[in-house]
Amino acid sequence: MDISPTTSNVKVSNHIPDDLVNSILHKLPIKSLKRFGCVRKSWSLLFMDPDFMTVYSNCFLSKNHSFYDDTSLLLHLKTRDKYDLYSLSGERFENIVKLDWPKVPLQVPVRRGRIIHRIGGIPKENVPPSQVSDFSFEIPSSKKSCEILGPIGINGTLCLEYPEIPDIRGNTKLILWNPTIEESKVIYLHNSNHLSIRWGRNYQVGYDRAKNDYKMIRRTLYPPKVHPYSSLQVNFFWEIYSLNSNSWRKINDNVPHSDRCLEVVYMDGVSHWLNTSRTETYLVSFDFSKESFITTPIPSYEGDCFDFYSIGRLLTILNGSIAFIVNYKERATFHISILSELGVKESWTRLFAVGPLPCLEYPIGAGKKGNILIRKKDNNLAWFDLSTGMIDEIGIRDEFGCKILFHKESFLPIGGIYNNFSSCFHGP
Give 92's pLDDT tier (boundaries 50, 70, 90). confident
Residue 418 has pLDDT above 80, yes or no: no
Residues contacting 111, CB < 8 A, separation 6+:
none
Residue 295 has pLDDT above 80, yes or no: yes
**CA–CA separation, 220 vs 180, rounded Å?**
32
Asked whether residue 357 is assigned to any structural domain, the reply reads yes
Asked whether residue 249 is assigned to any structural domain, the reply reads no
Residue 409 has pLDDT above 70, yes or no: yes
CA atoms within a 13 Å half-sphere pointing along the CA-CB vector of 391: 13
Give 106's pLDDT tier (boundaries 50, 70, 90). low
Let me know: does 59 contact 52? Beta carbons within 8 Å.
no
For 308-343, letters b (16+ CB in 10 Å) and e give eeebebbbbbbbebbbbbbbbbeebebbbbbbbeee
Give 420's pLDDT tier (boundaries 50, 70, 90). low
Residue 118 has pLDDT above 70, yes or no: no
Let me know: does 101 contact 146? Beta carbons within 8 Å.
yes
**CA–CA separation, 15 vs 362, rounded Å?**
47
Residue 161 has pLDDT above 50, yes or no: yes
Summarize the confidence of residues 22-40 as an average pLDDT: 82
pLDDT value at residue 237? 80
Asked whether residue 370 is assigned to any structural domain, the reply reads yes
Asked whether residue 358 is assigned to any structural domain, the reply reads yes
Q: Which domain holds residue 366?
A: 62-100+145-170+262-408
pLDDT value at residue 12? 59
- What is the rounded average pLDDT for all residues in the chain? 75
Candidate from 130-134, 165-169, 273-277, 389-393 with smallest mean pLDDT: 130-134
pLDDT value at residue 90? 81
**CA–CA separation, 396 vs 79, rounded Å?**
11
Asked whether residue 356 is assigned to any structural domain, the reply reads yes
Summarize the confidence of residues 82-100 as an average pLDDT: 85
pLDDT value at residue 392? 93
* 89/185: higher pLDDT: 89
Summarize the confidence of residues 172-185 as an average pLDDT: 78
Summarize the confidence of residues 374-395 as an average pLDDT: 94
* 163/29: higher pLDDT: 29
pLDDT value at residue 126? 46
pLDDT (tens digit per residue) in 187-212: 655 544 433 344 556 778 888 888 88
Asked whether residue 204 is assigned to any structural domain, the reply reads no
pLDDT value at residue 122? 44
pLDDT value at residue 425? 46
pLDDT value at residue 133? 41
Asked whether residue 396 is assigned to any structural domain, the reply reads yes
**CA–CA separation, 229 vs 219, rounded Å?**
27
Candidate from 2-11, 145-154, 344-353, 380-389 with smallest mean pLDDT: 2-11
pLDDT value at residue 113? 46
For 181-197, letters b (16+ CB in 10 Å) and e give eebbbbbbbeeeeeeee
Asked whether residue 218 is assigned to any structural domain, the reply reads no
Residue 225 has pLDDT above 80, yes or no: no
pTM score of the predicted model:
0.78
Let me know: does 54 contact 62? Beta carbons within 8 Å.
no
* 135/101: higher pLDDT: 101
Residue 287 has pLDDT above 50, yes or no: yes
C-alpha pair distances (Å), 408 with each of 61, 268, 306, 413: 21, 14, 36, 14
Residue 84 has pLDDT above 70, yes or no: yes
Candidate from 111-115, 333-337, 420-424 with smallest mean pLDDT: 111-115
Number of compact structural domains in the chain: 1
**CA–CA separation, 418 vs 247, rounded Å?**
14
